[in-house]
Amino acid sequence: MGTIVWLASELMFFAALFAAYFSLREITNAAAAASQTTPMWEWGTAHLDNDWFGITFPWFATINTLILVLSSVTCQLGVHQAEVGKVSRTGSLLNLNRWGLREWYTLTFVMGAIFIGGQAYEYANLLAEGFTPATNAYTSAFFLATGFHGLHVIGGLVAFLLMLGRTYLARRFTHEQAVHAMVTSYYWHFVDAIWVVLFFVIYILR
């Protein structure tokens, strides 16, 4: 219950970020229309696109998003194993049907780490193009929203490490550990859901 209440407060925090993003967008677009200049949001979103296969689209961010969304699937598979008390695999590593909580949560951790690495790579490319937090209002809003989310993802990765470490330190898998695994999954699903909304608002909604 405590985790759910805390996630609700986090939801309010991200809601404030979304409100600031849209308010800033309306203000800057109105100013651009009055001065007959290129809207800042049109300029900014162009930097997020990739020209792959002859089609301009935020391909890189889409693939990175897909990795994070799939990590929610692997996380939930780990929860199912925790619910039946299966902490570790009982067969070959190549046999996914025999995987336990540790294997699924380790894979989830790796996918989350890949997402953070992808975000860092995108940041590096944007900074090389002069797209920095101090460039204008759009870049400030972009880095504020995606940066805070990235910090939440890193927090989730730390939570997975703590959960996995606990399973190795304990002599047997207990109900408390299963609850710990489920609570960790709540946070991870929340982080994933927030990113799906962020991705749509920032990368798709023009």
Task: Kindly report, residue by residue over 100-113, the tens digit of the pLDDT.
Answer: 999 999 999 999 99
Does the pLDDT of residue 59 top 90, yes or no? yes
Ordered DSSP codes for 126-172: HHHTT--TTT-HHHHHHHHHHHHHHHHHHHHHHHHHHHHHHHHHSSS
Q: Is 162 exposed, middle or buried (0-12, 13-18, 19+ CB in 10 A)?
A: exposed
Mean pLDDT throughout 55-64? Answer: 95
Closest CA to 7 of 159, 203, 175, 205: 159
The helix/strand count (H/E) of the chain reads as: 6, 2
Partners of 55 in the β-ladder: 52
Closest CA to 100 of 164, 192, 161, 185: 164
Q: What is the CATH number of the domain that holds 102?
A: 1.20.120.80
CB atoms near residue 180 (< 10 Å): 17
Q: What is the spatial distance between Cα 91 and Cα 205, in angstroms, rounded to a whole number?
A: 46
Closest CA to 3 of 197, 199, 198, 191: 191
% of the chain exceeding 70 in pLDDT: 100
127-163: pLDDT as tens digits? 999 999 998 888 898 999 999 999 999 999 999 999 9
Range of the domain at 42: 2-204
Mean pLDDT throughout 115-121? Answer: 98
Angstrom distances, CA of residue 94 to CA of 91, 100, 123, 160: 8, 12, 35, 22
Task: State the number of CA atoms in the 13 A half-sphere of 32 facing the CB.
Answer: 15
Longest Cα pair distance anywhere in the chain, in angstroms? 69
Tally of domains within the chain = 1
Residue burial 56-81, b: 16+ Cβ < 10 Å; e: rest: eebebbeebbebbbebbebbebbbeb
Does the pLDDT of residue 17 top 90, yes or no? no
Does the pLDDT of residue 197 top 90, yes or no? yes
82-102: pLDDT as tens digits? 999 999 998 889 899 999 999
8-17, 65-74, 141-150: the lowest-pLDDT one: 8-17
